[in-house]
Amino acid sequence: MKDDLLDVIKNAEELHYMEKKDMVSLFRESKYDEALFRAADRVRKKYVGDKVHLRGLIEFSNICKRNCMYCGLRHSNKSIERYRIPPDKIIELAKKAVGYGYRTVVMQSGEDDYYTVDMMKYIISNIKKMDIAITLSIGEKTFEEYEAYKEAGADRYLIRIETTDPELYENMDPGMSHENRKRCLDDLKKLGYEVGTGCLIGLPGQSLESLADDILFFKDIDADMVGVGPFIPNADTPLKEAEGGSFKLALKVVAMTRLLMPDINIPATTAMETLNPNGRTIALNSGSNVVMPNVTEGIYRKLYALYPGKICTGDTPAHCVNCITGKIVMIGREVASDKGFRVKSI
């Protein structure tokens, strides 16, 4: 371990490299937190600028065939009211998002096989006519399915690795394969998507070494977007008694990811604001450059219950865009007007 972790941070800011042991030391040591966050903010400013990209999130189904231990949408959860938004209504929500000024929509759902390839192609192709970028976050699919979505007009795909520890992954995601998760990321890269991934911070049994491995994995696969969020225990899951993740540790992962991957997109996630009232603006000042406000309407906002305490479930989409725009302006930044594709600079 280096004697002075300030040198580690300085070198990472300049060279975008950090050894695993030093990452773990920074996770453990709070003394250097502000230096880490300020360095990440400087790298963010240098490589992706002061504009914040807003992505309109459409949570179109909370039905999921998976049984992930940490997720409120898990198949075995009988306490949640399930819903599906019809294809034409999804397209209508996207049209409204464009009206609010969004240049990207993120279509997110549980792994719900109701939405066939043809149905998804219909939705994607009609939204694409609005001249916006489309991100999908709908789980593990075959190469052929990913290819069909891409041909229909999808630009980006978000599928979190959750953890790069195979044993922890398979304990947290019963019946799922860590290798298949990585296969999905590889297929998406081959097909030319902008690929988003990420991890949960604070899963039971997760080590600091594992979190360092997560960041190194993101760099190794050259992810275009990395979403980091603290694990928040849900009372309707087997992990209801777990301690949960730390806001500060999640913020450190964001900052280190920015130092190592200076030109990627990093969202300030909603879960961070669930733990800290100013979570998203703090993240925007610590390396993040994207926010994904919810544009889903009505009761659906409450029913997409990944974790308890989720913010803004009672707000309208119009209120959300005005609220986050105000917060962005308050910290001296501005809302971007472009689609926000990654511009590789190194």
For the stretch 73-99, pLDDT in tens is 999 999 999 999 999 999 999 999 999
Residue-level pLDDT at 2? 46
Please tell me the distance from the alpha carbon of residue 20 to that of residue 221, in angstroms, as a whole number. 17
Instruction: Encode pLDDT of 27-42 as tens digits.
Output: 999 999 999 999 999 9
162 assigned to a ligand binding site: yes
Q: Are 162 and 169 a contacting pair, CB within 8 Å?
A: yes
Residues in the chain: 346
Residue 344 forms part of a structural domain: no
68 assigned to a ligand binding site: yes
Instruction: Say which residue the tokens 């009211």 belong to.
Output: 81
Residue-level pLDDT at 1? 45
Residue 159 forms part of a structural domain: yes
Enclosing domain of residue 165:
5-335
- The tokens for 32 are 């250097």
Residue-level pLDDT at 346? 73
Q: Are 70 and 172 a contacting pair, CB within 8 Å?
A: yes
Q: Which of 260, 316, 253 is nearest to 286 (CA)?
A: 253
337 assigned to a ligand binding site: no
Residue 340 forms part of a structural domain: no
Which residues have C-beta within 8 Å of that of residue 71, sequence separation ≥ 6?
Answer: 64, 234, 237, 306
Please list the ranges in the chain whose pLDDT falls under 70: 1-3
Amino acid at 76: S
Residue 232 forms part of a structural domain: yes
Percentages (nearest 5) of helix, strand, coil residues in the chain = 45, 15, 45
Residue-level pLDDT at 159? 98
184 assigned to a ligand binding site: no
Residue-level pLDDT at 255? 98
Residue 345 forms part of a structural domain: no
Query: Radius of gyration (Cα) for the chain, nearest Å?
Result: 19
320 assigned to a ligand binding site: no
Q: Which of 162, 230, 171, 167 is nearest to 196 (CA)?
A: 162
What CATH number is attached to the domain comprising 91?
3.20.20.70
**Contacts made by residues 29-32, CB under 8 angstroms, sequence distance 24+:** 29/5, 30/248, 31/5, 32/5, 32/6
Q: Are 306 and 71 a contacting pair, CB within 8 Å?
A: yes
288 assigned to a ligand binding site: no
Residue 342 forms part of a structural domain: no
Domain count, the chain: 1
Residue 346 forms part of a structural domain: no
Residue-level pLDDT at 198? 98
Q: Which of 154, 231, 233 is nearest to 198 (CA)?
A: 231
Positive or negative CA dihedral for 131, 132, 135, 136? negative
Residue 199's H or E segment, with its range, is strand 194-201
pTM of the complete model beyond 0.75: yes
